[in-house]
Structure 1
């Protein structure tokens, strides 16, 4: 598994034949790992000199973490769940390097969860995201680290973080 992941990273760097400048791209696809494992698609939809707005969709598996809400209803820990998240994200240039940006956003999630010894059930709620992103100048790759708390039923989780590796899809308007 590590060898395939390493080959994927090397392949992404080799595939980058065009120079990407900072946040000047409009869509990415990637993988987010951490307290969840998700496939991420982000598309920038509105640009101003200081703030770029994007929508992001994530689909994946959420690991067993968080606090059951309310805890008195659940006597067994929650297991993995399949989740879909949609976020509205604002990117802001951090000022010291055009390749770095900070971001914050909010959205919602829906999930299908299981508990040990119980039937699967559905849940949903609100999610937020805060983080920093670095875009490589000579490769179509960006890396971000984030904190993404969720509040909803059946979960409340304030300790969700992750690392996202994204491939930048070439644009024609640059």
Structure 2
């Protein structure tokens, strides 16, 4: 937990230090999101230069989860096309019966369960200058309410086609 707090503090400091700039070089992106708990399809849409909506349909063993995020983007480290982003949202989904592993806490569910909770995101995204490709790396802290309550943090890697 101390590592998570340290990482969050460092990312927040970068947020404060970096200047607000033209945060993105595309309007819409579609691609894959690969995480610790789910892998799936991601769609990101910029409403303006620094504000985006992202939806992720993630698939996991015996289940699926939809996550919706509201994100704020800004240029990171004064590097063109490298953006820092953060935001919040929620998830809803379902898992079937079986054994599920989480960091330090394995559980067995003898029936299907609803997944419902609150999400956050902190990450970096790089848009390649001469290709319609963006790559992101982020942390997704989330609070599961329906089968919990419990808190976890899932790292994620995104690869998207931009247009």
Q: What range is the shorter-chain TM-score in? A: 0.7 to 0.9
Gapped regions of structure 1 (runs ≥ 5):
1-20, 63-78, 170-174
Aligned length: 129
Q: TM-score, normalised by structure 1?
A: 0.69
Q: Would you say the 8 A contact 2:53–2:71 is kept in 1?
A: yes
- Give the match for residue 10 of structure 2: none
| Structure-2 separation of matches of 1:158 and 1:30 | 24
1:3-38 alpha-carbon deviations (Å, 9 max, x no partner): xxxxxxxxxxxxxxxxxx971211000101121201
- Counterparts of 1:46-61 in structure 2 under 5 Å? 46-47=48-49, 52-61=50-59
- Counterparts of 1:1-174 in structure 2 under 5 Å? 23-35=24-36, 36-47=38-49, 52-62=50-60, 80-116=62-98, 118-153=110-145, 154-155=147-148, 156-169=150-163
Q: TM-score, normalised by structure 2?
A: 0.73
- Give the match for residue 103 of structure 2: none
RMSD: 1.8
Larger-Rg structure: 1
More strand per residue = 2
Which aligned segments of 4 or more residues in structure 1 are displaced greater than 4 angstroms?
none
- Structure number with the bigger relative contact order (C-alpha 8 A, sep ≥ 6) is 1
Alpha-carbon distance, 1:162 to partner: 1.1
